[in-house]
Amino acid sequence: MTTLTLVKAINAGLRKAMEHDSKVILFGEDIGPLGGVFRVTDGLQKDFGGHRVLDAPLAESGIVGTAVGLAMRGYRPVLEIQFDGFVYPGFDQIVSQVAKFHRRMDGAVAMPITIRIPYGGGIGAVEHHSESPEAYFAHTAGLRVLTPADPQAAYLTIQQAIACNDPVIYFEPKRRYWDKGEVDELQSALDLSEVADPWRARIMKAGSDVTVACYGPMVRTCLEAAEASTDISLEVVDLQSLSPIDYETLASSVERTSRLVVVHEASMSGGIGAEIAARIGERCFYVLEAPVTRVTGFDVPYPASRLEEYFLPDLDRVIDAAEQVMRY
């Protein structure tokens, strides 16, 4: 086991995927000699060459469009979008071409494209650098959506995303980039018989009173809330995959606890939490003892950095929600 930050774990996973398959190509703004804004691709161009780790123009639509052509020719492009708010110029290519091409070709041409997007707040950044746009992509049929919560998950799931023949939107929680954790670099992520299925949720902490469903940057926050909550036993479920969502694991947890709180940074209206509340309300109607409660960002544009602590869900808001559902 090696102790790595989440950044280094993704870097190690990219390296492993590139060593395994010569068709894996990295493409993005400043990912070559600089190693990307967050240094996720640090050293990869030096080791694999400029023909496999390419700096792209500042044009997200061109980056995604180029990846479509590469995928059609049998490559496995891995794109880096510098920040969450920069993905929108490439949004048309993603939802109109990447998501639909496999279906349009009746399965004859796959789109094994991985689009890496640092997302979320908590780093004191300026406008368009702290958004959480995951619901747009989870809503789009034809796309898979993954978001790791810790270094071990990041190391494995980035390899699994690249190996997947479906296009994967890979959201990286930038506020957790520097969190450290143990990583087994000898473990192969390319054989699902050996490692966890990336499309399945993970129970991070067992509990008996309230299920707390979360993902990405909020997993650590919810685990801290579970540790701090002395009167209520919280079961923390890391969804990990936002499309598809593993409702089997989540529903099994709710059947044990009879209560559900969903936590995410994105605004409440139309968010992932709304879909989960509806699905669990349908599946677990007869065991729920309280309405499904959401703890989210507010329905306002992401605020200036000096105000973001009031926008982001924190430990106290998670515990308050758990206490609320326990009062029913």
pLDDT digits (tens, 9 = 90+) for 233-248: 999 999 999 999 999 9
Amino acid 78: pLDDT: 98
> What is the C-alpha to C-alpha distance for residues 328 and 314, in angstroms, rounded to an integer?
23
- Ordered by start, the domain boundaries in the chain are 2-183, 202-326
Query: Residue 192 above 60 pLDDT?
Result: no
Query: Residue 299 above 90 pLDDT?
Result: yes
On whether the pTM is more than 0.85, the answer is yes
What backbone phi and psi angles, to 5 degrees, belong to 156?
A: -80, -45
- The residues assigned a catalytic role are 129
CB-side neighbour CA atoms (13 Å) of 302: 23
Same fold, 2-183 and 202-326: yes
Amino acid 193: pLDDT: 57
What is the percent of the chain where pLDDT is above 90?
Answer: 94
Helix (H) and strand (E) counts in the chain: 12, 14
The 10s digit of each residue's pLDDT in 110-130 is 999 999 999 999 999 999 999
Amino acid 153: pLDDT: 96
Please compute the mean of the pLDDT values over residues 267-277 and round it to a whole number. 97
Query: Residue 6 above 80 pLDDT?
Result: yes
187: pLDDT confidence band, cut at 50, 70 and 90? Answer: confident
The 10s digit of each residue's pLDDT in 20-35 is 999 999 999 999 999 9
The residue length of the chain stands at 328
CATH fit for domain 202-326, picks 3.90.1150.10, 3.40.1010.10, 3.40.50.720, 3.40.50.920: 3.40.50.920
Instruction: Say how many Å lie between the first and final Cα of the chain, rounded.
Output: 45
Cβ-in-10-Å burial (0-12, 13-18, 19+) of 314 comes to: middle
CATH fit for domain 2-183, picks 3.40.50.970, 3.30.56.10, 3.10.450.50, 1.10.3260.10: 3.40.50.970
Token output for 151 = 């270094």
Is-contact 29 61, C-beta < 8 A? no
